Amino acid sequence: MSSFDPIKQDRFTFGLWTVGNPGRDPFGEAVRPVLDPNHIVRKLAECGASGVNLHDNDLVPFGSSAGEQDRIVSEFKKTLADTGMTVPMATTNLFTHPVFKDGAFTSNDPKVRAFALQKTMRAMDLGAELGAKLYVFWGGREGTEADACRDPRSALQRMRDAMDFLCEYSKDNDYGMRFALEAKPNEPRSEIYLPTTGHMLHFISTLKNEEMVGVNPEVAHEVMAGLSFAHNVAQAMACDKLFHIDLNGQKMGRYDQDLRFGSEDLKGAFLLVRLLEGTLGGKRYDGPLHFDAHAYRSEDEAGVWDFAKGCMRTYKILHEKALAFDSDPDVVAIIAEQNDAAIDPLLTGGYSKETASSLLGMDIDVDAIAARGLRYERLDQLLVEHLLGVRG
């Protein structure tokens, strides 16, 4: 059996805000002290992560002077160099300050929209200085409670204007960044614009620099919407738009839980890792594997590192399970059983008059096909037995 201890080559990353989460929730105070970003980087490196991601204000507190920012950033860069850690992704906090109570890029107040652009440009400068080539946009408070306050089409147009502007800002400064848009269906607003990855994918197709922009799907967000995370990720992969991913765990129908990866819905997590790693075939995802989750509120700092190691170990264990599953001859046989090499090219080769007449002339025994069992009960049980460790 391989070692499941994470190493840098595994491309695992955490946000400063994830392992740094002090456990505050709407009903209770923090249960852990706030950790220094430099300490977080050193501990993550020890745990086997390769990188750390951040919002501007995770590192530089809101309202810091230029001098304070320089001191903080230069110490942080030294810690990154000492530990060999990278910053693959950066993002902007457009949700904590009360100025964003009615959204940032979609706010009705042009001064708020201007401030959101100003803050994002500055945060992109910071991200570029730290080497980030991916820039995430999570809408945060881009939504409503009193939906009568604006035409939702204005919100979408404002969001489009902001993305078009910021793409040009990256190009103008030679930052070489790609943008990853993150959808979330609810929390913290009552209604949120562009609530799922599918919505984001279409929105991207309306942008001026479409090729620069992809998605950052998150397990919890699609599960909260009652959707299959793997299917959403697959659609993004199929159109080369999976630029980044937020891994965590979530129970359906609950508040935003941000649980340790794989701690809920093990089968869903397995199918996701199988897809990302391409063990069934197809292109693999080779970007950062980012955990956007936090330790239970019951934990002290030691529990935070147990949590971080747990996320990474579970991913690696599931990868090994997926390899074993897809090379299990019984699994391969069930999946291959319905292949028909003679008919397939007619369905994948596009339209021609000849193909149309071949299809029209085919004698298809629908009753025989309808009567045939597909052995998916057996296939799913094989999956369960691989997961339970009695096979493979």
- Spot the catalytic one: 36, 39, 55, 174: 55
Q: Which of 15, 126, 133, 119 is nearest to 73 (CA)?
A: 126
58 in contact with ligand GCO (CB under 6 A):
no
Please tell me what DSSP assigns to residue 33. Answer: P
* Residues in region 292-331 near Mn ion by CB under 5 A: 292
Residue 265 neighbours by CB under 8 Å, 6+ apart: 223, 249, 250
CA angle 257, 236, 207 (to 5 degrees): 105
* 3-class state of residue 44 by DSSP: helix
Per-residue x/- track, 178-197, ligand GCO (CB under 6 A): ----x-x-------------
Distances, alpha carbon 58 to alpha carbons 19, 112, 274, in Å: 12, 21, 33
Minimum distance between the CB of residue 192 and ligand GCO, rounded to whole angstroms?
11
Minimum distance between the CB of residue 292 and ligand GCO, rounded to whole angstroms?
5
- Spot the catalytic one: 56, 58, 258, 265: 58
274 vs 287, which CB is nearer to ligand GCO? 287
Q: Please identify which residue in the block is written with the tokens 């075939």.
A: 281
Binding residue (CB under 6 A) for ligand GCO from 58, 102, 218, 222: 218
Binding residue (CB under 6 A) for ligand GCO from 57, 91, 257, 263: 91
Q: Kind and range of the H or E element at 69?
A: helix 66-83
188 vs 349, which CB is nearer to ligand GCO? 188
- Say whether 58 is catalytic: yes
By a kind-dependent CB cut-off of 5 to 8 A, residue 142 interacts, out of ligand GCO, Mn ion, none, with none
- Say whether 55 is catalytic: yes
Q: Which of 317, 337, 335, 324 is nearest to 379 (CA)?
A: 335
Binding residue (CB under 6 A) for ligand GCO from 58, 246, 265, 277: 246
b/e burial code for range 89-102 (CB count within 10 A of at least 16 → b): bbbbbbbeeeebeb
136 in contact with ligand GCO (CB under 6 A):
yes
- Applying CB under 6 A, the residues found at the interface with ligand GCO are 91, 136, 138, 182, 184, 218, 246, 256, 292
Q: Write out the catalytic residue numbers.
A: 55, 58
